[in-house]
Structure 1
């Protein structure tokens, strides 16, 4: 179990004089007395009398968010909790149908309020979300089929040239070695996902730029650390606190590095375009996010480098987490792995790698959906901020500015799923055969019973691309490698408040397979 980052004064590298500390203390007291908590809904983990910043209450939430939410829901349908991100309104899932598409509830405004984009170094969290949504819906999803063969080819090449999922250090290359080797799974997967995403986001020539890969893979981790630390302080004091945080200084350097790289790429493209026009040659048409953002922005203001970091934040972390968790879940299940390999061969022999092919991998789809059911990215994937005063059908009033969440309680409910605490890789294959569940049982589908990708108008718009990317990688890993948990490794989900992450320290043993039948050539052409 993870804990909040060390935010004692020494850990924040305080260099300011005593008056700064005094001012912060006075500010905390003012906030405590000027902004008393609302008595409308019960607060189940109120802070102690002299805990002015609610630090102890926040720590308790970080350590046992699931227990606190479960205990609250056992008593009432609506209540408040002191979370690491502040006081939040918690609603039971019976309200989902009424508010899932409510126009006055915003996920993105809630994320923005929790992520401090006004602090230098965290600007990517404040980018124009409408441009990103237009990019995903109008460009990325449409171009998905075009990129699948490129991604499949890149996975094949990466596995040949380096190792299982591109080891983070070239000193540990496996290449085609047939003996067992140990590696940390998550960092390896994260690096491959970063490279594959880079093909789409920055163009294929950039997917091996080591500096760019370092920036995008490190930025997510450092920004989480910084935001976690800032949340312990009253909002008015956070810009001051940030000045003395080492993680913020690192983030500022990474943002500047991203600006340098992206600006260089754009400048090179502009020069190439000018030269082509001078020579009477049609300029190269780019099909990647750099060009797509320019197309969909339609005059709206944005900064290319910050947009790229924003894309990396939403794409790389969640995709790598799902793939890591699925591999950890199937480790040691030899019969299941054999069935998955048989399915891959049967489907790819007939169709090759394309959009419709991935939909036919039903057992793989079920495995991934079951992994996500047991360990979603969050205990609550339905979170919103009220942008106006809202009155619900039962008379409940939610004030403007309220942050709220609905826990994913039905994903682990015995009245919804048989043996909900057990990993059943065939669960959703069997559910597809039940009338009325044919569509909702696929990984890309969202429902109140499975909110792995959220629900309603803010359900993850990039899930179609992410799911296909995960399946393509998994096809190659299954067919090219044997893998098992390293001795002594017992994967444990890492928890921080509502955030759930696959075990980033889990070790696996891997070796090259003796393939009796290889993937079809058209499914994995090398460069």
Structure 2
């Protein structure tokens, strides 16, 4: 079923399986045709960020002609970035986005140089605030005080081992409920929709715990919020910076979701705050979950319960949007190539027989780890990665002058499909990293969560995704459960569903269905 969200006079149509929305409505086409060129003209004429010395990929850097480049990037970001990468590998080039130029840094040397620059020279948070529009959808405070990042890096990562049994319990319960047992019959499943629900349940088992992680109304709100924020990012990208504060006022759905979530979370927040007031900050049975860690931080900032709710929703957006896409990619590969299942199942069953369903066992599943890393490399999460904003002017080692205010990125797929970085890069090779590990015996170099200038799915360097350790364990738990408990296939056997590419995201095919058949209980 499709739905339509009206943003005052601007209507963006989408289906629940299509968080990117649609850029094809007449009102948006008219907007792109008239407003964006004028905005780019003004930006080019008056912006202090002069980038004419940097080569342009797509059309021209001249004020109005650059709009052709915007159109090309919106239609085919993957192709534009690949062409620029091929021409300028090891150097930099720029592409026209709707509200700014993106300076694209390529090659191992420059990408590594970019991620090593100090925070007073380049800022990841500022770049993410601009490109992901989080400064408008979540507020400027999240840019100035991103206190959620150390919570993820320390508390969440530290508690992965004791949390894992709960995550596994939720994964198994969710799969059993959402993909029912039907004997030897195949069950058709709308993949992205069901996977989104399972990811939401498993993630919120760690975020808010039982019983809320199984509250359908709460989960629907979290998923709807994720879709709304993804749509808002696309919508806000169409406006120049000066108009974004006005444009965001046209988006009513995000605040509505916050208020809906308040109804579910407020009783739990009030109860925990009351316990802390009556029993002290370290009362017995104090929960160790994301909700509690955020409450503790919010209390030190004298903020409100609404701040706690907004941060929980931010955690849900990050978890649901990326993890459900990542898992769906991998599920499509497994269903398209059933021969991958046997070696994965052999490894998983052997490890589980020895260590059970634990975080330790996840760390021993090298074939599974390789399979998921390869899926991430092959499909991608975003067109660009390693985002940084220049906080002052500087010059790269190749002599390129970068003015203050410049947004810098690296092209993810072009990097991952470079034959200098990978053997047969256009081939999906599920166990490529197992072989590489066996060759150099590196303990961490080829792991799913390890970043490098050649593997930028999670970014790279000190600002790489802090939640990737949680995500990796959650995804491995889910895929291991599927491999052991189900056979899977596609409607069209062997035909991998095509991904959907936009200027701001890469997503798995939103309509594809996967057939599941429960395996014999003795194999579970």
Query: Quick check: TM above 0.5?
Result: yes
TM range (shorter): 0.7 to 0.9
| Distance in structure 1 (CA, Å) of the matches to 2:174 and 2:140 | 29
Distance 1:12 1:221, change over 3 A: farther
Give the alignment partner of residue 105 of structure 1, picking from 114, 122, 138: 122
**Which residue does 2:75 correspond to in 1?**
63
**Which residue does 1:40 correspond to in 2?**
53
Q: Is the 8 A contact 1:368 1:443 kept in 2?
A: yes
| Distance in structure 2 (CA, Å) of the matches to 1:320 and 1:401 | 33
Distance 1:28 1:424, change over 3 A: closer
Distance 1:421 1:28, change over 3 A: closer
| Distance in structure 2 (CA, Å) of the matches to 1:129 and 1:328 | 38
Deviation at 1:466, TM superposition (A): 0.9
| Distance in structure 2 (CA, Å) of the matches to 1:510 and 1:242 | 41
Deviation at 1:57, TM superposition (A): 2.9
| Distance in structure 1 (CA, Å) of the matches to 2:265 and 2:386 | 33
**Which residue does 1:168 correspond to in 2?**
none
**Which residue does 2:286 correspond to in 1?**
285
Which has the larger displacement, 393-402 or 338-347? Answer: 393-402
**Which residue does 1:17 correspond to in 2?**
none
Q: Where do 1:82-161 residues align within 5 Å?
A: 82-84=96-98, 86-93=100-107, 94-103=109-118, 104-117=121-134, 119=136, 122-123=138-139, 126=142, 130-160=146-176
Distance 1:332 1:26, change over 3 A: closer
Q: Is the 8 A contact 2:106 2:410 kept in 1?
A: yes
Unaligned runs of 5+ in 2: 1-17
Deviation at 1:72, TM superposition (A): 2.4
**Which residue does 1:189 correspond to in 2?**
195
2:224 match: secondary structure: helix
| Root mean square deviation of aligned Cα | 3.1
Which has the larger displacement, 317-326 or 73-82? Answer: 73-82
Q: For each residue in 1:74-116, what CA deviation from the matched residue of structure 2 results, as whole angstroms up to 9, or x when unmatched?
A: 4332221102452111122230232222112222211112344
Q: For each residue in 1:465-511, what CA deviation from the matched residue of structure 2 results, as whole angstroms up to 9, or x when unmatched?
A: 11111111112111222210014864011101252112222111112
| Distance in structure 2 (CA, Å) of the matches to 1:431 and 1:515 | 35
| Distance in structure 1 (CA, Å) of the matches to 2:425 and 2:340 | 19
The answer to whether 1:491 aligns with 2:506 is no
Q: Is the 8 A contact 1:58 1:232 kept in 2?
A: no
Deviation at 1:12, TM superposition (A): 11
**Which residue does 2:265 correspond to in 1?**
262
Distance 1:146 1:472, change over 3 A: same
| Distance in structure 1 (CA, Å) of the matches to 2:63 and 2:474 | 50
Distance 1:491 1:85, change over 3 A: farther
Q: Where do 1:327-476 residues align within 5 Å?
A: 327-408=331-412, 409-435=414-440, 437-476=442-481
Give the alignment partner of residue 9 of structure 1, picking from 11, 24, 27: 27
**Which residue does 1:179 correspond to in 2?**
185
Q: Is the 8 A contact 1:125 1:310 kept in 2?
A: no
Distance 1:59 1:23, change over 3 A: closer
**Which residue does 1:237 correspond to in 2?**
243
Give the alignment partner of residue 310 of structure 2, picking from 282, 306, 313: 306
Deviation at 1:26, TM superposition (A): 8.3
Pair member with larger Rg: 1
TM norm structure 1: 0.85
TM norm structure 2: 0.85
Distance 1:96 1:155, change over 3 A: same
Which has the larger displacement, 509-518 or 291-300? Answer: 291-300
Deviation at 1:62, TM superposition (A): 2.0
| Distance in structure 2 (CA, Å) of the matches to 1:112 and 1:422 | 34
Q: Is the 8 A contact 1:367 1:426 kept in 2?
A: yes
Q: Is the 8 A contact 1:134 1:296 kept in 2?
A: no
Which has the larger displacement, 292-301 or 54-63? Answer: 292-301
| Distance in structure 1 (CA, Å) of the matches to 2:87 and 2:462 | 29
| Distance in structure 2 (CA, Å) of the matches to 1:365 and 1:256 | 39
Count of residues paired in the alignment = 492
Unaligned runs of 5+ in 1: 14-21, 165-173, 519-527
Q: Is the 8 A contact 1:219 1:254 kept in 2?
A: yes
1:331 match: secondary structure: helix
Distance 1:458 1:7, change over 3 A: farther
2:286 match: secondary structure: coil
Give the alignment partner of residue 87 of structure 2, picking from 71, 75, 88: 75
1:317 match: secondary structure: helix
Distance 1:436 1:24, change over 3 A: closer
Q: Is the 8 A contact 1:90 1:406 kept in 2?
A: yes
Which has the larger displacement, 265-274 or 104-113? Answer: 265-274
Deviation at 1:147, TM superposition (A): 0.7
**Which residue does 2:14 correspond to in 1?**
none
| Distance in structure 1 (CA, Å) of the matches to 2:145 and 2:110 | 26
